[in-house]
């Protein structure tokens, strides 16, 4: 099984870029399942139903979210109605719209897909460690393999989660910082891991945001409106090559297109 995980999608135009590129890439790389974080796809802070549909139409099988999950209100009912194709961090309170995990059929295997948010420099949600422990216990026997998007700011928190769940969650990757890390690896328990996938979005801004507005904010510390940067788009992520029978990842390879 080959799983492609894509970094945070920034801006509505990126969905068009992915639609033009992703299907051929999936064929070339023999990708069986594609997951992408979509929390910045609509004006940086959130995801609309229209942009969610566009991402799913582009060749993405599952959308994960993060701290901007509820930035666009029309996504609330969509989250409840499309639990197989879009999930939000599982450690939000249960009253939040949507679900934090789902089980998908991939090549005849039951793949448990989990989305979780870190707490360092982010919202004080429930413990991601305890939350995922409970999910794995609750869903025991209903899945064969597991995947987790760790949407977090701190590198240490992401790696701590990866070490803790090594061997229990086969595919683990970080999102949120929009900067790809060079630590792709197979951990001792056989799980594949990378601290951050990077970003799918405009390359001429700052993390996909218009550079002038960001520089102004840093220089003056005054509030300013952020917008998606213009210019060429690039997609970043990683391919996880997984041996289903041994439940071990053979390799993790960064990819840019």
| Residue 227, in any domain of the structure | no
Nearest to 173 by CA among 155, 188, 144: 155
| Residue 209, in any domain of the structure | no
| Residue 214, in any domain of the structure | no
| Residue 99, in any domain of the structure | yes
* Number of alpha carbons in the 13 Å side-chain half-sphere of residue 97: 16
| Residue 162, in any domain of the structure | yes
| Residue 226, in any domain of the structure | no
Structural domain boundaries enclosing 186: 2-202+233-256
| Residue 159, in any domain of the structure | yes
Catalytic residue among 30, 45, 68, 176: 68
| Residue 225, in any domain of the structure | no
Is 161 in a helix, a strand, or coil? Answer: helix
Tell me the C-alpha distance between 176 and 68, whole Å: 10
Domain count, the chain: 1
Q: Note the pLDDT of residue 144.
A: 98
In a structure prediction context, what are the per-residue pLDDT tens digits for the chain, which is 257 residues long?
999 999 999 999 999 999 999 999 999 999 999 999 999 999 999 999 999 999 999 999 999 999 999 999 999 999 999 999 999 999 999 999 999 999 999 999 999 999 999 999 999 999 999 999 999 999 999 999 999 999 999 999 999 999 999 999 999 999 999 999 999 999 999 999 999 999 999 999 999 999 999 999 999 999 999 999 999 999 999 999 999 999 999 999 999 99
Q: Note the pLDDT of residue 105.
A: 98
Please confirm, yes or no, whether 68 is among the known catalytic residues: yes
Take residue 155 and report the two structure tokens written for it: 């590198």
Burial class (CB in 10 A: 0-12, 13-18, 19+), 67: buried
Does this model's pTM top 0.85? My answer is yes
Supply the CATH number for residue 64's domain.
3.60.21.10
CA distances from 134 to 46, 130, 240 (A): 27, 6, 25
**Cross-strand bridge partners of residue 243:** 248
């Amino acid at each position: 099984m080959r799983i492609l995980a894509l970094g945070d999608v920034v801006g509505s135009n990126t969905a068009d870029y992915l639609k033009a590129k992703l299907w051929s890439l999936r064929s070339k790389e023999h990708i069986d399942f594609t997951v992408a974080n979509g929390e910045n796809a609509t004006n940086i802070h959130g995801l609309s139903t229209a942009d969610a549909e566009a991402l799913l139409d582009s060749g993405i099988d599952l959308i994960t979210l993060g701290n901007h999950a509820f930035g666009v209100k029309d996504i609330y009912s969509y989250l409840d109605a499309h639990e197989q194709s879009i999930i939000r961090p599982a450690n939000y309170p249960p009253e939040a719209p949507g679900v934090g995990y789902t089980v998908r059929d991939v090549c005849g295997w039951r793949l448990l897909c989990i989305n979780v948010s870190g707490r360092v420099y982010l919202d004080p949600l429930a413990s991601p460690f305890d939350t995922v422990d409970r999910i794995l216990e609750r869903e025991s026997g209903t899945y064969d393999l597991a995947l987790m998007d760790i949407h977090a700011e701190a590198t240490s928190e992401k790696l701590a989660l990866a070490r803790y769940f090594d061997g229990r969650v086969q595919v683990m990757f970080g999102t949120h910082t929009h900067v790809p890390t060079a630590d792709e690896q197979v951990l001792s328990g056989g799980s594949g891991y990378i601290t951050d996938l990077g970003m799918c979005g405009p390359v001429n801004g700052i993390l996909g945001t218009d550079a002038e507005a960001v520089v102004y904010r840093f220089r003056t510390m005054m509030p300013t409106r952020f917008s998606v940067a213009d210019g060429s788009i690039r997609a970043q992520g990683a391919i996880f090559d997984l041996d289903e029978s041994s439940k071990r990842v053979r390799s993790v390879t960064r990819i840019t297109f």
